[in-house]
Each structure stands twice: as C-alpha cells, then as structure tokens.
Amino acid sequence: MSVTIDIHADDFGESVHASRDILDCLKDGKLNSISVLANMSCFEECVNMYRREQDEFVWQPKISVHLNLLEGISLAGAENVPDLVNRDGHFKLSWEKLFFISFLPSRNKFKNQLKKEIELQIKTVVDAFPELSFKAIRIDSHQHTHMIPVVADALFEVIGEQKWQPEYIRDSREPMMPFLKKISLYKTFRPVNFIKNMLLKFCSSIQKKRFKEAGLAPMYLWGLIMSGHMDEKRIVKLFSAMENKAEHDGRMLEILFHPGRSSLEEISKDVEQKDAIEFYISENRTIEKQAVYALDLAQKARKGER
C-alpha cells in the first residue's frame, strides 16, 4: 500500500457484547485502532475485559476517546450541564439541534457546558488506559459530533486550556467521487447518507485551519455513505478508487467499521432512542465484523507502514 491506512472500530464500551466482538477482532489482528466510550454503564467492565485479554492481541491498537454527547449519562452531572441532559442526567439533544445551536446567540451557554463534559470524558478514558498520554491524545466522537462547530469550539478550547497535545482528531471528511463513479452501486447507497457526507464536509471546511494549526495529519474517512453497512463486496469494488484518491491528495485513509453488536437484553437507559437501539443490535454489525475478517486489511496496512 502506498498510502497510510487505518482499520478502525468505533464503540468499544457501548455494551459488553459489542466490546467482546471488538476484542475478538483485536486478538485476531483485524484492527489497527479502536475508540472508547466513557459514559456507558458498562465502561468499567469493558475496560477490565480489555485488560484481561490485552496480552492476546496480535499487536496493541491505537486508542481514541470516543466522545459521546448524544446518548448515555453525563459524567459532569445534570446540575453542571442542565441544557444537555434530562432530569435523569441522560443526554437529550440530537445532532441536528447541536448543529443549529452553533449558529444561535445562546451558543456560548451550551459551549461552556459541553467543555465540562468533554474534559471529563477524555480524562476518564486516559485514566483508564495507562498507555495513553495527554501529550499524544487521540479523539473522535459518536456520530461525529466533534465536527459540529459549537462542539469543535468546546473541544479545542479544552485542549488549549489543559495544554494537551492531540496526535489525532478525526476529520470526518469522506471523498464522494469514488461513490459517484461506481454507477452499479447507486441503488445500494442510502440517500440520507449523501446528505450526511455533505454536511460533514461543510463542517470539515470550517475546521480545516484549526486542524492544520494543531499539526494534525490530513486524512479522509471512509464510512459515511456506507455508514452502518460496511460490507465486503462493496469495499472490494471501491477500495482502489478510495486508496488512489487518498494518495493523490496526500492524505491518510481511515476505514471505519462498527463490528461490535449489542444484544437486545443489554439495552438499558443508556440508550433510549429507537433508531439508536436498532443500530446497535442490527445484523449489519455482524456483516461489518465479517468484512473486517474477510478483507484482512489491518495486517496489510501495518506492512505498508514499515
């Protein structure tokens, strides 16, 4: 491979069952990196599972903080972030609401509350994984909320105030042309995901200067238009075009999977939205895990880095 590629799994810590699926992938050398949720009720149990099985990993993965501002319980507490949560302390705002808040006069009120939550979630993950360092911190987020202007402002202010040094912050920017050129796949893409792609590209453009000033390596993300269904067949058909696009533009390529599937019995008050529950227990997550195994890209990516 002529371009740096990262095979990544989101949502470690989402549930015990989903985390076990991700651990399977790590033990079989199918992932280069994972991101960890700090605010689900199973967090401690999942961290302990990771510790028990870590010696069985083919290699140690890069670990990112997976900021979660849409689901689960606030670590800051309802009294400190009253506009973000309900009376039980669970997050109540949607992606769309956070986006529109970014352009309202009241944005600073929300930004200050977001800063409290973001700081605690980052510290919780770093404290749980001694191999992590605030001098080389890695950050992404659930549903890419860190790309929303008001959330990005909060995140970068926290990083600056704490004097942390980011090694990686996901730029959720996905090239669209490889998908448009593959006419045979048109009917397999969900139209709403093209809207998601364009909206995140807009957010990426806003943050472009900030990412550059932070010294972050330019990147592309693959996992928006095919979000929730990163299957082997389509990845094979699109891979060369995506790799060539990343190489041409001088960017690394992160291929995002969700190979961890929750069981219905695990769903708790951590996740109350119907759509989110369906996403977590979807058969498509098993399909994504199968793709991770069948494609075996993580090992190839590691060889390409040497």
Reported as a pLDDT band with limits 50, 70 and 90, residue 304 is low
Interior/surface letters 218-253, b for 16+ CB within 10 angstroms, e for the rest = ebbbbbbbbbebbeeebbeebbeebbebbeeeebbb
Convert the pLDDT of each residue in 58-84 to its tens digit: 999 999 999 999 999 999 999 999 999
Rounded to whole angstroms, how far apart are CA atoms 181 and 20?
Answer: 37
- What is the residue range of 216's domain? 5-305
What's the domain count of the chain?
Answer: 1
219-222 and 166-169 as β-strands: parallel, antiparallel, unpaired?
unpaired
Looking up residue 144, the CATH number of its domain turns out to be 3.20.20.370
pLDDT of residue 280: 72
Query: Cα–Cα distance between 16 and 5 in angstroms, integer?
Result: 28
Residues 6+ apart with CB under 8 A from 203: 144, 147, 148, 149, 152, 172
Average pLDDT, stretch 234-256? 97
Residue 217 DSSP class: P
According to the model, what pLDDT value does residue 1 have? 54
The answer, yes or no, to whether residue 242 has pLDDT greater than 60, is yes
pTM for the full model?
0.94
- Residue 143, both tokens: 């549903």
Q: pLDDT tens digits, residue range 3-52?
A: 999 999 999 999 999 999 999 999 999 999 999 999 999 999 999 999 99
- pLDDT category, 306, cuts 50, 70, 90? very low
Q: Which two tokens stand for residue 171?
A: 């730029």
Q: Confirm if 219 and 207 have CB atoms less than 8 A apart.
A: no
Residue 111 has pLDDT above 50, yes or no: yes
DSSP character for 130?
Answer: T
Query: Confidence class of residue 139 from pLDDT cuts 50, 70 and 90?
Result: very high
Q: What mean pLDDT is predicted for residues 76-99?
A: 96
pLDDT tens string 262-288: 877 777 666 766 555 677 778 899 999
Q: What is the model's pLDDT at position 274? A: 58
